[in-house]
Chains A and B, each alone.
Chain A
Amino acid sequence: DVKVTQSSRYLVKRTGEKVFLECVQDMDHENMFWYRQDPGLGLRLIYFSYDVKMKEKGDIPEGYSVSREKKERFSLILESASTNQTSMYLCASSPPLTGHSPLHFGNGTRLTVT
């Protein structure tokens, strides 16, 4: 079974702090993704990566950056946390692109910025 592990289930940070969300997958997947999920807005793609050190912006990259130094690890960075970044963050991974590869999600990190 694919295992995608997010380092924290709940996180509370203050406005202006630099925040790191970590994600590790154990299936040697090429693709990794960061989504945020908000009520009424659904899942929105922040960034994704299709290879080590490669990254692509998703639909809402503003205020975020990512790092992928190793294949199994994909980090989401909030450079200066703001209250509108309070959300559920979901990491996902998938096999190489065929168009039919499903996403495997981690358990999510609920981030609160005060």
Chain B
Amino acid sequence: QKEVEQNSGPLSVPEGAIASLNCTYSDRGSQSFFWYRQYSGKSPELIMFIYSNGDKEDGRFTAQLNKASQYVSLLIRDSQPSDSATYLCAVNSGGYQKVTFGTGTKLQVIP
């Protein structure tokens, strides 16, 4: 079983809709959870991190964490074509910041 799992997509949503990206992880001791965005040919950039159960909002982005279900998600409201990218879920299981990445979900926002 992979440590961090994401659906590879592509996930296609119309412009203005809500995009919902999901991630599950296997290590119950995981402490911190990150969402990175990666445009084609570019390096990943941090969008959000979350470490407490519940929701965390930042502009159009909301991260949701449910440690009991070992599930973290990212919602993008009012999706824009510029949101089209691959979204990487990353999990820190503690120690010397050993961060494990999922394989990413490709999001396509259709104008």
A31 touches B97 (CB 8 A): yes
State in angstroms the CA–CA spacing of A87 and B46 once bound together.
22
B-to-A contact residues, CB < 8 Å: 8, 31-32, 34, 42-46, 49, 51, 88, 90, 92, 94, 96-104
Which residue, A45, A50, A99, has most C-beta atoms of chain B within 10 A? A99
A45 touches B98 (CB 8 A): yes
What are 16 A-to-B residue pairs whose CB atoms are below 8 Å? A31-B97, A41-B103, A42-B101, A43-B101, A48-B98, A99-B31, A99-B32, A99-B94, A99-B97, A102-B34, A102-B49, A103-B44, A103-B46, A103-B90, A105-B45, A107-B43
Contact surface of A with B, Cβ cutoff 8 Å: 31, 33, 35, 40-45, 48, 50, 56, 58, 90, 94, 97, 99-108
What secondary structure prevails in chain B residues at the interface with A?
A: loop
B98 nearest CB neighbor, chain A only: A45
Residues of A within 8 A of B44 (CB): 43, 90, 103, 105
Cβ A99 vs Cβ B103 within 8 A:
no
Q: Is B88 a contact of A94 with CB atoms below 8 Å?
A: no
Cβ–Cβ < 8 Å partners of A31 in chain B = 96-97
Are B92 and A99 in contact, CB atoms less than 8 angstroms apart?
Answer: yes
Complex: A23 Cα to B74 Cα, angstroms: 31
